[in-house]
Chain A
């Protein structure tokens, strides 16, 4: 079974629209860590945010916001007023407290149309 599921394979939005990228995770650990990464067309991986399992506060950083809900095992990412530069593949990832492995979702490819 997938540890991290990103059901949306591809999303297209028109510039200035809001868009939410879904991430559902699976773990039996009570302590774990969730991450979002961005991979623009140039190919590098850029860290966006980290959350630990004890911190369910939502976070806002400029046009980006994250909604962490343990009850639904979800860690969704919203981009407000999307811009062409937001076009990229976005990955959600999970690190469990037991073991040292990292699990990435399959990614959501976001295209922002001008």
Chain B
């Protein structure tokens, strides 16, 4: 079972570049989330979605955008990469807000 799949696993960007982190899940979960994890820190919620066509901001949305055109996919877009966005990004999905989240393996992003 694939579960939650994130691509790429690693990426190096230059300041000012843009990119999209891909996330897809095959569990038919309505809820999907994007987090960032900085070294030695917990996870901070960037954006979340409760279903196709519905997205909302989390704790740290600045500098990011998302879309949810299908149940399966929830891409995260960085428009103007900044060094402060160097982090490990995790995508997750769940059946509901009260249910455990299933996480992808993460994308390690460095911005130089």
Contacts and interface: CB of A to CB of B under 8 A. Distances in A.
A91 interface: yes
Nearest to A105: B42
- In this complex, the interface size class of chain A, counting residues with CB under 8 Å from chain B, is 20 to 34
Interface residues of B, number: 26
Interface of B: 31, 33, 35, 40-45, 48, 50, 56, 58-59, 88, 90, 92, 97-103, 105-106
Interface of A: 4, 6, 33, 35, 43-45, 47, 50, 52, 91, 95, 97, 100-107
26 contacts: A6-B42, A33-B97, A33-B98, A35-B101, A43-B88, A44-B105, A45-B92, A45-B103, A47-B100, A47-B102, A50-B98, A50-B100, A95-B98, A100-B56, A101-B45, A101-B48, A102-B48, A102-B97, A102-B101, A104-B35, A104-B42, A104-B43, A104-B44, A106-B40, A106-B41, A107-B42
